[in-house]
Structures are given as structure tokens and as C-alpha cells.
Structure 1
Amino acid sequence: MTGSELLENPGKISKLEAENKALAEYAKYKETIKDELSEVEKHFLESVKQTQKQLEKKVKKHK
């Protein structure tokens, strides 16, 4: 597959307009996910919770 097979005409949007549109859409996307945790952060928090439970069990045994 070559580049000439992808587009049949040059289109109506300039490179600059396409880049600006992409940047604007990416900014909107980043805004919507800014408060969501990544998978790594979720895994870390779960690990902390499990460690906390284990420590609480040990403290109860020593009382």
C-alpha cells in the first residue's frame, strides 16, 4: 500500500487547520480524563489497601 492509494484528492483542509483541530480535540480529551486514575494508579492504590489490611490483622493479633 502506498500513500497515493489512500487519498484520491488533496482535500479542503490545510495542514495547519488539521493540526489545530487535532490539538483542540486532544485538549478536550485531556480535560475529560484529568480526574480519572490511570491503571497504574489504580493498581498502586489497591496494593496500598491490601497492605493496610495485612498490617491491621497483625496489630490485632499482637493485642
Structure 2
Amino acid sequence: MKIYNYSVTKVNGALTDKSPYEELERHLNLQGEDGYRLCAAIPQVYEGSTEATILIFESEDEIED
């Protein structure tokens, strides 16, 4: 039987300059090393601009029945 594990990370800042992109890449690589894959990226918008992005990662395990 498969089970799923999830990890949620928040990346602050609008993705309009280099700094948030570097932080985003760092989070993606760290989670990937732990066996997680990105399953959703949800922008957190306030007054028309993105203030942060929520990243939801998923990993899959097999358990014995």
C-alpha cells in the first residue's frame, strides 16, 4: 500500500527580483534531496501583489500490509 508524506514551505517575497528565486531554488533542491517533489505552489496575494509563495511537496512510501 502506498502512503504519502507532505511538507509545506513558505518563500517570502515577490518573485520579481533575484533573491526570492535563489531561496525558491534552495527549497526545491533541499526537498528533492529528501525525496520530495513539488506538487503545488500557491501565491499569497495582498492588495494585488504577491507577498509570499506556499510550496507543497509530496513524497511517496510503500508500507507492507
Q: Give yes or no for TM over 0.5.
A: no
Q: Which has the bigger relative contact order, CA under 8 A and spacing at least 6? A: 2
- Of structures 1 and 2, the larger Rg is shown by 1
Larger strand percent: 2
TM-score, length-normalised on structure 1?
0.31
Larger helix percent: 1
